[in-house]
Amino acid sequence: MRKYILLILPLFTLMIACNPTEETTDQTTNPLVMDWDTPFGTPPFDLIKQEHFIPAFQEAFAAQKAEVDAIINQPDAPTFANTVEALEYSGGLVRKVSNVFFAMTGAMTNDALQEIDKQVSPMLSAHRDDINLNPALFQRVKVVYDQKDQLGLNTEQAQLLKKHYDKFVRGGANLSGADQEAFRKINEELAILSVQFGENVLKETNKFEIVLSTEEELAGLPESVLAMGAEDAKAKGYEGKWVYTIQRPSMYPFLTYSSRRDLREKLYKGYIMKGDNNDELDNKKILSRIASLRVQRANLLGYPTHAHYVLEENMAKTPDRVFELLNKLWTPALNVAKGERADMQKMIDAEGGNFKLESWDWWYYAEQVKKAKYDLNEDELRPYFQVESVIKGVFDLSSDLFGITFEERTDIPKYHPDVKTFEVKDLEGNHVAILYTDYFPRDSKQGGAWMDVFVKQMKQNGEFIHPVIYNVGNFAKPTGDKPALLSLDDVNTLFHEFGHALHGMLSDCTYPSLSGTSTPTDFVEFPSQVMENWCMHPDVLKKYAFHYETGEAIPDALIQKIRNASKFNQGFATVEYLAASYLDMYWHTLTQPEEKDAAAFEKEKLDELGLIPEIVSRYRSTYFNHIFSGGYSAGYYSYIWSEVLDADAFRAFEEAGNVYDQTLARKYKQYILASGGTDDSMELYKKFRGKEPSIEPLLEKRGLN
């Protein structure tokens, strides 16, 4: 589900008036704590200063402690309402402050904010432990849980009760005093190490660049890639030169088009060696310690491995079921990848190249083979995918499927000038949600793309709380007089993250713990990935893919080329993804809390797997933010698990003969987007589809059958 230079930051980060560790902020005027007098209760970014965060967190923790004390100390016997619901709605201020803070550490970070993060993360961990390890609170929840079959709870209430009871048990409530103390220390250390790991990846990404100054060094690069390199050089103070970095919008086009093999190697090695350079930013010992601590914590709770602990709450349930799925895909994908490798080696040999294909050659020769086989040039597609047109395309698709509209607002405070804000309404003009989009890279932003919330949808005291959602990406910026033009991969990514946004915006749940994207990890990627099926469908493409200069709709012949090439290079794409998924599982099925030699362990496991040397795991351990700094530990497999669902789900629309089929769209909206985690995920899927998913549509989609 990520960069480092001295920045001049707008709005939010300009307003740092004191040392972030000093608690001098007057809490009566702290905008994070006050009611937000803004349109639709959006964060007042024009007022928030970094010095506000630590005092706001401290007040939020104190407020929730008082709320929890009130639950414990009330004289009435425990009930679902006075204990479970009361606990669910407690901590509103913690959610409010956390949502803003972690949005900024992802999209607008700097040295000061990172220092605050190092203080806040262990504070937050300790606060959660204070709640999860509170015996009196757990006892009240347990009384309600033991009576669950006599309470007449609806499905959503039953899910909430189970979620809170399990949170206590999984949070150490049944541990002895000594084990609880050990549990606390593990959580505190993990919080600190996770922040440090992500910070190191960010700094590594920001510091690496290649600066080019001669025509010879630029060989093979098309105009759009040259313009991007010149813009980046200018921004970094290298006027008249070209700069390429290991941020993906810069790296992938360079690897695809540069005919300078030595420079491709230099750039790609800069990328795959992040966190593995035996310097102050090295992540090997950090990640090994994280893995070891996770084993210790799992063992304390009675689980053989961290993966068993995590997967218990997912659709997969056990590591064996994850490996079963990965193994079904690995052999056919590897065989296809070996065929792709052979095609590229043939081309190298035919050109008289006296070398063996290497990992840094793959993008370049894949592009050459694609041109030869399908007459498809990635660069000829970009003019049809201006970022504004793609955004309009996903907006129009959402309107056609789900009956919502998008109106840009200029009266809502933003945290950066690149951000745009939209009010989402239904067809009757009723307010649905607020959406922020933030799509261009900068040094203050983590890499990748993601969705999250400032305000979660919920219902409280008879009021429907409308969600405030944001999408973040790192797509190529406009250059000179050219607008931002996206690659096919960028288009898929934008639609993907918008699927997450729809999941948050169209939520219709009572409790925040179950609303929106609060589902099992291996289900949450389904609503995002299914959108990728729509974005490249001819009926949808014709509605948004227009040439930015001529206004001409994308020609049928070009659409057919895209479809013809849709399974091209899927061996590579599947293998590099599966390798990372296996790597995640290998780290998290360790049974002993020993600190491994990270490089040796990674090599040993991937060699055993049979990964060919021409393909590097999509993420090597040392920069695998998803699992060591994000929320996907023992969960990176979720993308392919969810892809089984999305391929099967889209097959329903294809079988209906209309990708805009309203009956299916209504069922999808009701049972998937609106329902969040209010029921078992497979039950929700079956209510939409009428059956359990089949793996065949995925195998066909990737050309692995």
| pLDDT per residue as tens digits for the range 183-212 | 999 999 999 999 999 999 999 999 999 999
Average pLDDT of span 560-565? 94
Residue 450's DSSP bridge partners are 472
- Write the DSSP string, 404-439: EEEEEESSS--SSTT-EEEEEEETT--EEEEEEEE-
Which candidate in 67, 199, 209, 497 is catalytic?
497
Cα–Cα distance measured from residue 64 to residue 74, given in angstroms and rounded to the nearest whole number: 16
Please give the C-alpha separations between residue 345 and each of 219, 355, 613, 616, in angstroms, as whole numbers: 21, 9, 14, 17
- Please state the length of the chain: 705
Determine contact, residues 5/635, Cβ cutoff 8 Å: no
CA distance from start to end of the chain: 28
Under 8 Å CB-to-CB from 81, ≥6 apart: which residues? none
Determine contact, residues 414/421, Cβ cutoff 8 Å: yes
- Where residue 296 falls (left for φ over 0; alpha for ψ -120 to 50; beta otherwise) is alpha
DSSP 510: S
Average pLDDT of span 434-454? 94
Determine contact, residues 632/521, Cβ cutoff 8 Å: yes
How high is the mean pLDDT of the chain?
94
Average pLDDT of span 331-346? 97
Residue 21 pLDDT > 90: no
CA neighbor of 451 nearest in space, from 398, 503, 514: 503
Residue 152 pLDDT > 80: yes
Residue 131 pLDDT > 50: yes
Cα–Cα distance measured from residue 147 to residue 347, given in angstroms and rounded to the nearest whole number: 69
**Two domains, one topology: 2-132+134-154 and 284-376+570-636:** yes
CA neighbor of 552 nearest in space, from 566, 538, 542: 542
Reported confidence tier of residue 10, pLDDT bands at 50, 70, 90:
very low
Looking at residue 24, what is its pLDDT? 43
Average pLDDT of span 404-423? 97
pLDDT in tens, 501-527: 999 999 999 999 999 999 999 999 999
Residue 355 pLDDT > 60: yes
Cα–Cα distance measured from residue 589 to residue 53, given in angstroms and rounded to the nearest whole number: 37
CA neighbor of 214 nearest in space, from 248, 263, 255: 263
Residue 23 pLDDT > 70: no
Cα–Cα distance measured from residue 444 to residue 3, given in angstroms and rounded to the nearest whole number: 6
Determine contact, residues 495/458, Cβ cutoff 8 Å: no
pLDDT in tens, 240-268: 999 999 998 899 999 999 999 999 999 99
pLDDT in tens, 606-650: 999 999 999 999 999 999 999 999 889 999 999 999 999 999 999
CA neighbor of 608 nearest in space, from 627, 640, 585, 631: 585
Reported confidence tier of residue 8, pLDDT bands at 50, 70, 90:
very low
Cα–Cα distance measured from residue 576 to residue 271, given in angstroms and rounded to the nearest whole number: 15
Cα–Cα distance measured from residue 143 to residue 83, given in angstroms and rounded to the nearest whole number: 10
Going from N- to C-terminal start, the domains of the chain cover 2-132+134-154, 208-272, 284-376+570-636, 383-564+639-701
Determine contact, residues 45/415, Cβ cutoff 8 Å: yes
Residue 373 pLDDT > 50: yes
Residue 12 pLDDT > 90: no
Average pLDDT of span 448-473? 97
Looking at residue 377, what is its pLDDT? 86
289 vs 17: which has the higher pLDDT: 289
Average pLDDT of span 325-330? 97
- Both tokens of 335, joined, read 């065989």
Residue 485's DSSP bridge partners are 386
Residue 3 pLDDT > 90: no
pLDDT in tens, 49-73: 999 999 999 999 999 999 999 999 9
**CATH number, domain 383-564+639-701:** 1.10.1370.40
Residue 15 pLDDT > 90: no
Looking at residue 257, what is its pLDDT? 96
- Both tokens of 685, joined, read 């899927």
pLDDT in tens, 567-612: 999 999 999 999 999 999 999 999 999 999 999 999 999 999 999 9
Reported confidence tier of residue 447, pLDDT bands at 50, 70, 90:
confident
Residue 25 pLDDT > 80: no
Q: Give SS3 for 566.
A: coil
Reported confidence tier of residue 27, pLDDT bands at 50, 70, 90:
low
Average pLDDT of span 389-406? 98
CATH 3.10.510.20 is right for the domain spanning 284-376+570-636: no
Looking at residue 6, what is its pLDDT? 23
Cα–Cα distance measured from residue 45 to residue 416, given in angstroms and rounded to the nearest whole number: 9
Under 8 Å CB-to-CB from 273, ≥6 apart: which residues? 622
Cα–Cα distance measured from residue 79 to residue 74, given in angstroms and rounded to the nearest whole number: 11
Average pLDDT of span 359-370? 96
CATH 1.10.1370.40 is right for the domain spanning 2-132+134-154: yes
| Residue 497 designated active-site | yes
- Both tokens of 596, joined, read 């491994």
Burial class (CB in 10 A: 0-12, 13-18, 19+), 510: buried
Residue 11 pLDDT > 50: no
- Both tokens of 490, joined, read 């960028």
Average pLDDT of span 452-460? 98
- The percentage of the chain sitting over the pLDDT mark of 90, rounded to a whole number, equals 93
- What is the reported pTM? 0.90
